[in-house]
């Protein structure tokens, strides 16, 4: 736990350093003072692969201080519902780069009834449960400020899979093939982030 906290603190420090390198006009004043206008709360709509809030999600971004804000959301993905909370470092008053750090959690699906076909052509009924799992999300994004402070952004990065190796349970007497297990490993939360989003200023 201590090493994780040190890692997260280091990531935020590096993000702030990188932001200052990208933007020569970076200021440590609160953003509302630097731009003479209040910082809005945003309603977020986003989607993509390993997106923080699933294939399709909704959430909020709330400013804290300077360029730092809290981002939280809920959505739906291949593993069922997906919850997210994290931090975002970006100046949403103008076009530019931003960085994100967060954790996504999927409670899984208790019962998923599937009819599968193996290599020999035989079919079998599988009562499958997808178990809870999550990911630590490290991301960078580029955003464009549109009219009325609304924002469109593209995001990429990497979602580090949680350490639990047991990600499913078969509730009846059948079992999964190696290929089917590999497919579940592929669709579980974690991997390369490719996402886009639209933020509406409230």
Domain count of the chain? Answer: 1
User: Is 3 strand, coil or helix?
Assistant: helix
Domain encompassing residue 15: 2-201
User: Residue 147's pLDDT is what?
Assistant: 82
> How high is the pLDDT of residue 32?
45
According to the model, what pLDDT value does residue 36 have?
55
Please give the average pLDDT of every successive group of 10 residues along the chain, which has 202 residues.
Answer: 46 48 48 59 96 96 91 96 96 93 96 84 88 96 91 97 87 88 93 97 92
């Amino acid at each position: 736990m201590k090493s994780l906290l040190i890692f997260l603190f280091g990531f935020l420090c590096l993000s702030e350093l990188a932001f200052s390198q990208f933007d020569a006009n970076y200021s440590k004043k609160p953003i509302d003072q630097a731009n003479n206008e209040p910082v809005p709360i945003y309603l977020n709509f986003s989607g993509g692969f390993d997106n923080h809030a699933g294939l399709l999600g909704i959430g909020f971004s709330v400013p804290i201080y300077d360029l730092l804000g809290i981002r939280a959301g809920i959505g739906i993905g291949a593993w069922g519902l997906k919850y997210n909370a994290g931090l975002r470092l970006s100046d949403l008053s103008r076009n530019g780069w931003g960085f994100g750090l967060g954790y996504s959690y999927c409670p899984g699906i208790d019962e998923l009834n599937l009819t599968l076909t193996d290599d020999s052509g035989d079919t079998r009924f599988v009562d499958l449960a997808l178990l809870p799992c999550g990911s630590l999300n490290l991301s960078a994004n580029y955003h464009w400020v549109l009219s009325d402070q609304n924002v469109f952004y593209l995001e990429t990065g990497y979602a580090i899979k949680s350490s639990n190796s047991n990600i499913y349970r078969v509730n009846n007497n059948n079992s999964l093939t190696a290929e089917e297990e590999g497919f579940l490993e592929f669709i579980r939360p974690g991997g390369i982030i490719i996402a886009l989003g639209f933020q509406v200023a409230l």
